[in-house]
């Protein structure tokens, strides 16, 4: 963020390098010539490219995850309180959706939306122009919305099941007996139990979102699309418009099979570190919640209140009253 405010995301580039005989050296250039990470085939500093794309990667993943979890919370509550009769069919449909590969489904839905150039098609022996690409921000919006909405059904059923589990507790039944409304039960009783679970669901979905973003980028679908640009030798290559890490992975995927494999490993390494960070947060939060649950005093069941054999229930009260009067 500081680099954006002070340098406006300016990415330094280098021109062609020449050897001692005046012949141009092929780009990309290694980290030995341009530390710490070298350059890509456009001569751009890889470290600055990764730095610029960090905020877009994290922001996109957080926004997509929020749109996956927040609507699911309200839909899950609505299913539990108002759609209990059809809850099982809804759960069956949501479970069936899990058997279809989400990466493939997202690719089929986004492939026609995220086009960044006019393609030519042969129709009856004549070349016909394909559809015009959408504006940049429209592509970003469609990417985020479609990506998020694909997982709302399964998350809604998951949250409805969590609410159903909490709703079976004894204090909920006591609150209902005393005349509490559904909103008060949700606000005062269900929310303290559900919000920590939502935090865990959020972190889990954040990791899942990063992985699926990487899968789609390898298939050629970037957030906001791409721009065709000529490299230092005039070859036309795809360039991610946002430089987010998943898009960089898709751009540089082909370098895995060249003499520059470290270029492909850069976005892989940074995405893995981000996933490990979220995983560590989730593990820490899970341990804290487990410790909090262990400190809660269990509700004493009525069956545990036993009177001594042959003792009348009110005899204890009478004996205590006699002792108090005597003292």
pLDDT at 32 (0 to 100) = 81
Place of tokens 């570190």: 273
Mean pLDDT of the 9-21 span: 82
pLDDT at 67 (0 to 100) = 94
pLDDT at 245 (0 to 100) = 93
pLDDT at 259 (0 to 100) = 80
pLDDT at 23 (0 to 100) = 82
Which pLDDT tens digit goes with each residue over 258-277?
888 888 899 999 999 999 99
DSSP letter at 153 equals H
Preceding peptide of 309 cis, ω within 30°: no
Alpha helices in the chain (DSSP H): 2-7, 46-82, 87-98, 102-110, 136-149, 152-167, 170-177, 182-184, 191-218, 245-252, 261-295, 315-326
pLDDT at 126 (0 to 100) = 62
3-state secondary structure of 13: strand
Question: For residues 140 and 231, which has the higher predicted lDDT (pLDDT)?
Answer: 140
How far is the C-alpha of 39 from the C-alpha of 31, rounded, in Å? Answer: 7
Structure-token pair, residue 242: 């946002």
* pLDDT at residue 304 tops 50: no
Question: For residues 33 and 246, which has the higher predicted lDDT (pLDDT)?
Answer: 246
Verdict on whether the full-model pTM lies above 0.85: no
Mean pLDDT score of the chain? 81
Give CB contacts under 8 A, 24+ apart, made by 152-156: 152/68, 152/71, 152/72, 152/75, 153/90, 153/93, 153/94, 153/97, 154/94, 154/95, 154/97, 154/98, 155/68, 155/69, 155/72, 155/76, 155/201, 155/205, 156/71, 156/72, 156/75, 156/76, 156/79, 156/94
Q: Where residue 300 falls among pLDDT bands split at 50, 70, 90?
A: very low
DSSP letter at 25 equals E
pLDDT at 57 (0 to 100) = 93
* pLDDT at residue 46 tops 80: yes
CB 38 within 8 A of CB 26: no
Q: From residue 327, how far is each of 225, 315, 322 by CA, in Å?
A: 86, 18, 9
Proportion of the chain above pLDDT 90, given as a percent: 23
Pairing of strands 17-18, 24-25: antiparallel
Least confident of 7-11, 112-116, 161-165: 112-116
51-54-56-62 Cα dihedral, nearest 10 degrees: -160
pLDDT at 324 (0 to 100) = 53
Selection from 65, 146, 67, 157 nearest residue 102 by Cα? 146
Which pLDDT tens digit goes with each residue over 101-153?
888 888 888 887 777 665 655 555 665 665 677 788 888 898 999 989 989 98
Cβ count within 10 A of residue 170: 9
Structure-token pair, residue 322: 């006699």
Q: From residue 18, how far is each of 35, 163, 218, 272, 294 by CA, in Å?
A: 18, 67, 33, 36, 68
* pLDDT at residue 301 tops 60: no
* pLDDT at residue 306 tops 60: no
């Amino acid at each position: 963020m500081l680099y954006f405010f002070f340098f406006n995301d300016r990415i330094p580039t280098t021109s062609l390098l020449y050897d001692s005989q005046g012949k141009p050296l092929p780009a990309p250039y290694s980290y030995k010539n341009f530390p710490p990470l070298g350059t890509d085939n456009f001569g751009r500093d890889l470290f600055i490219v990764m730095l610029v794309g960090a905020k877009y990667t994290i922001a996109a993943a957080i926004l997509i995850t929020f749109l996956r979890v927040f609507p699911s919370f309200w839909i899950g509550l609505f299913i539990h309180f108002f759609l209990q009769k059809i809850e099982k069919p809804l759960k069956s449909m949501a479970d069936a959706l899990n058997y279809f590969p989400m990466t493939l489904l997202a690719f089929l839905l986004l492939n026609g939306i995220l086009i960044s150039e006019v393609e030519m098609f042969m129709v009856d022996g004549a070349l016909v122009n394909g559809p015009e690409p959408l504006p940049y921000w429209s592509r970003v919006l469609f990417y985020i919305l479609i990506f998020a909405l694909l997982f709302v059904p399964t998350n809604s059923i998951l949250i409805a099941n969590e609410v159903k589990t909490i709703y079976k507790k004894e204090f909920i039944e006591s609150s209902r007996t005393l005349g509490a409304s559904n909103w008060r039960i949700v606000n005062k009783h269900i929310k303290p139990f559900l919000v920590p679970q939502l935090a865990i669901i959020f972190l889990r979905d954040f990791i899942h979102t990063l992985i699926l973003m990487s899968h789609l980028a390898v298939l050629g679908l970037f957030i906001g699309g791409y721009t065709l640009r000529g490299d230092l030798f005039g070859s036309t290559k795809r360039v991610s418009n946002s430089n987010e890490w998943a898009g960089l992975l898709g751009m540089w995927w082909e370098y895995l099979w060249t003499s520059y494999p470290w270029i492909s490993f850069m976005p892989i390494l940074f995405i893995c570190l981000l996933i490990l960070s979220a995983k560590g947060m989730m593990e820490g939060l899970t341990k804290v919640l487990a410790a909090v649950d262990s400190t809660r005093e269990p509700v004493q069941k009525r069956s545990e209140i036993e009177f001594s054999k042959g003792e009348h229930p009110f005899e204890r009260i009478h004996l205590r009253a006699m002792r108090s009067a005597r003292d």
